[in-house]
Structure 1
Amino acid sequence: MTHATASDGTRIAYQVRGQGPPLVLLAGQSNDHHWWDPVRDDFAAAHTTVTLDYRGTGDSDRPETPYSTEQFARDVVAVLDTLDIGRAAVYGTSLGGRVAQQLAARHPHRVDALVLGCTAPGGPQSVPRAEHVNLALAQADTQAARQALRELMYTPDWLARHPGPFHTLGDPTMSPRARRQHLTASNRHNAWDLLPRITAPTLVVHGEDDLLNPTANAALLAQRVPGARLHLIPGARHAYFEEFRAVASPLVRTFLATQRPR
């Protein structure tokens, strides 16, 4: 297992696959690099794909200090530095999209192109999810809460045809404390004032039926990031990139192929 050392000494596990221009793939909240397993090969033929295990997940260290999307972005920079990658395209989904916003705004010289998937700007400007969704995820019956999460990720038709295993429901090795730290990092994310500083060409992708991260947030991002393009995928829920990979992966590949490294 290969690791980079973050600015605070935390060891961050990373994985490299494929060949071509570098592409960083950033997973969702409380997930490690396996989030990308179902679709990673869609990009590895044309890109050197780089994933990482967020602090608190996978084979990375699990410090007890507070987590934040800004710190996660610094962890990505540490991985890029270790790999001697000066600039890369970045594709972040869900929490990974929040991290990608911090990375592109605070470290613009490291990002050639940016894809923000099923994510939100954070802060009071974001559109919060409905209270009934929060209640479904927080119910005491853990099996029922997990089923609610599956149904927020995927359509009933897809779930009926795909019994699992699922790679988007959280890293089972995480401690309860680390899960809380990830949730806090996501909830405290607020990049609204940073978004106009993003200079990388940007594509915003979102499922039209996403209730976990309301679709209205996609339009907010596209309006706030200079020159950003917006693409909504009809019928898709939060895990659009997996269930609707036949649409989403070619869309992202085409966007990245049209962006020339600066």
Structure 2
Amino acid sequence: MDVHGHRRAFVLAGHGPALLLLHGVACDHTTWDRVIRPLSRDYTVVAPDLLGHGQSAKPRADYTLGGYANGMRDLLSILDIDRATVVGHSFGGGVAMQFAYQYPELTERLVLVAPGGLGPEVSPVIRLATAPGFQQVMGLLTLPGVRHINTAGLRLAHAARLPGTRDVDEIASIYDSFRDRGARAAAGHVLRAVVDRHGQIVTMTDRAYLTESMPLAVIWGAQDPIIPASQARNVEALAPGARIEIIEGSGHFPHRDHPEEFLRIIREFLATTRPSSYDRERLRELLRAGAGRPIRRARAGRRPVAPLTG
């Protein structure tokens, strides 16, 4: 459908409480294709292609976290969905946090999957993508022939399980998507808004205390080469009571390389937590007190932080 004059593509499946699934930079709704159908048996699943990605329009537009959060509010409103559990992967995790910050009254729970915004560290490849000339270089690297050879090489390396190639199959798909000039431009705008040569710029750590009454789960692959799983420790310190799950043998895409474990965690989290209740007066109290006060939570089914490896 069109929203504000721009085409927005999305998958809508199932019935029941709403789950909003948000993908990362240069991905689209297909990143969730191994979990959408199982989740749709019990939930209404909304999996959009964010603006500038997939089959959605790629205009010269606002590609900031706040802009994306606004777009998700508008999409849910059009679909007559009043509240949702928001699940965000990588950059989509940053959008999910921004959405919960801007629209707590619309957010029932928050699930962050290898999210951005919880620490400065990020892969050097991501920092390189923000450098001047990246789009021009990528334009040459995605010319026919060059692109086919490179993507085939990446996928062969992944199939051979060469060292450091855990997520290379997914990276090959992202690289292939950059043959679209609009997709390259949108990815450049997105990354420059959240990353510079020193690492991640945008952080939600200073506002984590506002999630006091928000059921929060964080899922990470122990061998994530893009955003290190060690950042999960930041969540433990900033939001005591959050459920943290580290999946051994998984990389940056746990919903793809370990879909059954991912589904188990999601279903258990949804079954053992109650949707948050928005309290305007409580929000005022938290804002006035600031981040210095301790956060107290009481949440069913909390799991301890698993050891980090890799």
Report TM bin, short chain.
0.7 to 0.9
- Of residues 107, 118, 122, the one that matches 1:129 is 122
- Matching of residues 112-261 of structure 1 within 5 Å: 112-122=108-118, 126-129=119-122, 131=124, 156=161, 169=174, 172=177, 173=180, 174-187=182-195, 188-198=201-211, 199-225=213-239, 227-261=241-275
- The Cα offsets for residues 110-147 of structure 1, whole Å up to 9 and x where unpaired, read as 1111110111325xxx1413548867998986669868
214 and 165 in structure 1: CA distance in 2 versus 1, 3 angstrom threshold? closer
Alpha-carbon distance in 1 for matches of 2:52, 2:250 = 29
SS in 1 for 2:69: helix
- Could you tell me which amino acid in structure 1 is paired with residue 204 of structure 2? A
User: Is the contact made by 1:152 and 1:237 (CA closer than 8 Å) also made in structure 2?
Assistant: no
SS in 2 for 1:114: strand
| Bigger radius of gyration among the two | 2
244 and 12 in structure 1: CA distance in 2 versus 1, 3 angstrom threshold? same
106 and 127 in structure 1: CA distance in 2 versus 1, 3 angstrom threshold? same
**Who is 2:302 aligned against?**
none
User: Is the contact made by 1:202 and 1:229 (CA closer than 8 Å) also made in structure 2?
Assistant: yes
User: Is the contact made by 2:220 and 2:254 (CA closer than 8 Å) also made in structure 1?
Assistant: yes
Higher relative contact order structure (alpha carbons within 8 Å, sequence separation ≥ 6): 1
**Who is 1:85 aligned against?**
81
Per the TM alignment, residue 14 of structure 1 is displaced from its structure 2 partner at its CA by 2.6
User: Is the contact made by 2:209 and 2:238 (CA closer than 8 Å) also made in structure 1?
Assistant: yes
135 and 59 in structure 1: CA distance in 2 versus 1, 3 angstrom threshold? closer
**Who is 2:283 aligned against?**
none
Alpha-carbon distance in 1 for matches of 2:155, 2:266 = 24
- The Cα offsets for residues 88-131 of structure 1, whole Å up to 9 and x where unpaired, read as 11111111111001011221111111110111325xxx141354
Q: Which runs of 5+ in 1 are unaligned?
A: none
Alpha-carbon distance in 1 for matches of 2:86, 2:54 = 20
- Matching of residues 38-57 of structure 1 within 5 Å: 38-57=34-53
Alpha-carbon distance in 1 for matches of 2:108, 2:121 = 30
Alpha-carbon distance in 2 for matches of 1:96, 1:152 = 27
SS in 2 for 1:169: helix
Per the TM alignment, residue 81 of structure 1 is displaced from its structure 2 partner at its CA by 0.7
1:34 aligns with 2:39: no
- Of residues 16, 35, 59, the one that matches 1:20 is 16
User: Is the contact made by 1:28 and 1:168 (CA closer than 8 Å) also made in structure 2?
Assistant: no
User: Is the contact made by 2:113 and 2:219 (CA closer than 8 Å) also made in structure 1?
Assistant: yes
**Who is 2:301 aligned against?**
none
Per the TM alignment, residue 65 of structure 1 is displaced from its structure 2 partner at its CA by 2.9
Per the TM alignment, residue 209 of structure 1 is displaced from its structure 2 partner at its CA by 0.8
User: Is the contact made by 2:151 and 2:172 (CA closer than 8 Å) also made in structure 1?
Assistant: no
SS in 2 for 1:203: strand
Bigger drift between 39-48 and 21-30 goes to: 39-48
- The Cα offsets for residues 202-226 of structure 1, whole Å up to 9 and x where unpaired, read as 0011011112111122221343235
User: Is the contact made by 1:68 and 1:184 (CA closer than 8 Å) also made in structure 2?
Assistant: no
SS in 2 for 1:156: coil
- Could you tell me which amino acid in structure 2 is paired with residue 102 of structure 1? Q
- The Cα offsets for residues 234-259 of structure 1, whole Å up to 9 and x where unpaired, read as 12111111111121111111101222
Alpha-carbon distance in 2 for matches of 1:97, 1:233 = 17
> Across the two proteins, how many residue pairs are aligned to each other?
253
Identity %: 29
TM-score w.r.t. the length of structure 2 is 0.69
SS in 1 for 2:13: strand
User: Is the contact made by 1:80 and 1:86 (CA closer than 8 Å) also made in structure 2?
Assistant: yes
SS in 2 for 1:55: coil
Alpha-carbon distance in 2 for matches of 1:130, 1:58 = 23
131 and 170 in structure 1: CA distance in 2 versus 1, 3 angstrom threshold? closer
Per the TM alignment, residue 79 of structure 1 is displaced from its structure 2 partner at its CA by 0.8
Per the TM alignment, residue 196 of structure 1 is displaced from its structure 2 partner at its CA by 1.8
Bigger drift between 145-154 and 19-28 goes to: 145-154
